[in-house]
């Protein structure tokens, strides 16, 4: 009896350890490290995270929003379990998986001269002035390519780095902006009209993971919610 009393705490610890290991194995316990660029990190990912955590009280998450180069570096080094970005379809150092494909859209103030049209063109932007994206960014490169394709100079009246900033400025009446649809969905459309942009600029939302590392059940569960949330945007 004395021996049993002495070893009972050991058995209790073993049972606790076994339950903990089982929870981790089933994806209901553990820690997930997520890093995203702003377009998804401020829109789709928070929705997915809320759904993911709802029935997982024993899961904790490290969540950060950074620039693309920092996201790739974190995933590659193992500092993040998963990264999220747009306009990146391949990279030599990490795995890239497409979550969804869509197109850039124009956000136009309701009192803008082109707000009543069916679509917004490069010529429309050039004629009336527009909020442009920094050419060194991936989204900025895509927008500049649209201008180059039409043989029109890329000369924004206001230039910003992030689509979210462009959307906010458009909402304030500064002018028309062309942004990714995730940033557009996050911006209140009060006072704005969302229109297709021509020529079409395809945008892919992507999942970034480390090469050679199998995905945990925890990560599989989060990815499932990401795909669901990405589909809900449109």
pLDDT tens-digit profile, the chain (234 residues): 555 566 555 544 544 444 344 444 444 579 999 999 999 999 999 999 999 999 999 999 999 999 999 999 999 999 999 999 998 988 999 999 999 999 999 999 999 999 999 999 999 999 999 999 998 889 999 999 999 999 999 999 999 999 999 999 999 999 999 999 999 988 777 789 999 999 999 999 999 999 999 999 999 999 999 999 988 766
> Distance of CA 38 to CAs 35, 84, 229, Å?
10, 9, 16
Task: Indicate the pTM of the whole model.
Answer: 0.81
For the segment(s) 105-200, the CATH number from 3.40.50.300, 3.40.190.290, 3.40.640.10, 3.30.479.30 is: 3.40.190.290
Q: Do domains 30-99+204-232 and 105-200 have the same CATH topology?
A: yes
> Distance of CA 113 to CAs 156, 157, 159, 177, 233, Å?
17, 16, 20, 13, 28
- Where along the chain do its domains lie? 30-99+204-232, 105-200
CB half-sphere exposure, 230, CA atoms < 13 A? 23
What backbone torsions phi and psi does residue 66 show, to the nearest 5 degrees?
-140, 180
Task: Tell me which fold the domain 30-99+204-232 belongs to.
Answer: D-Maltodextrin-Binding Protein; domain 2 (3.40.190)
């Amino acid at each position: 009896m004395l021996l049993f009393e002495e070893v009972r705490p050991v058995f209790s610890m073993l049972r606790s350890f076994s339950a903990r290991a089982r929870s981790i194995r089933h994806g209901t316990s553990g820690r997930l490290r997520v890093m995203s660029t702003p377009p998804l990190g401020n829109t789709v990912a928070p929705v997915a995270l809320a759904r993911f955590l709802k029935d997982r009280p024993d899961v904790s998450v490290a969540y950060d929003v950074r620039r693309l180069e920092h996201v790739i570096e974190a995933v590659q080094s193992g500092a993040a379990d998963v990264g999220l970005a747009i306009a990146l379809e391949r990279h030599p150092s990490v795995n890239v998986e497409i979550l969804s494909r869509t197109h850039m859209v124009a956000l136009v103030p309701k009192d803008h001269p082109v707000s009543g049209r069916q679509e917004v063109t490069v010529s429309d932007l050039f004629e009336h002035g527009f909020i442009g994206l920094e050419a060194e960014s991936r989204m900025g490169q895509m927008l500049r390519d649209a201008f180059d394709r039409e043989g029109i100079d890329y000369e924004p009246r206001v230039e910003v780095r992030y689509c979210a900033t462009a959307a906010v400025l458009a909402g304030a009446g500064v002018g028309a902006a062309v942004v990714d649809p995730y940033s557009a969905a996050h911006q209140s459309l009060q006072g704005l009209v969302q229109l297709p942009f021509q020529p079409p600029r395809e945008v892919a939302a992507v999942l970034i993971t480390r090469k050679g590392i199998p995905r945990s059940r925890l990560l599989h569960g989060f990815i499932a919610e990401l795909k669901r949330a990405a589909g809900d945007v449109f």
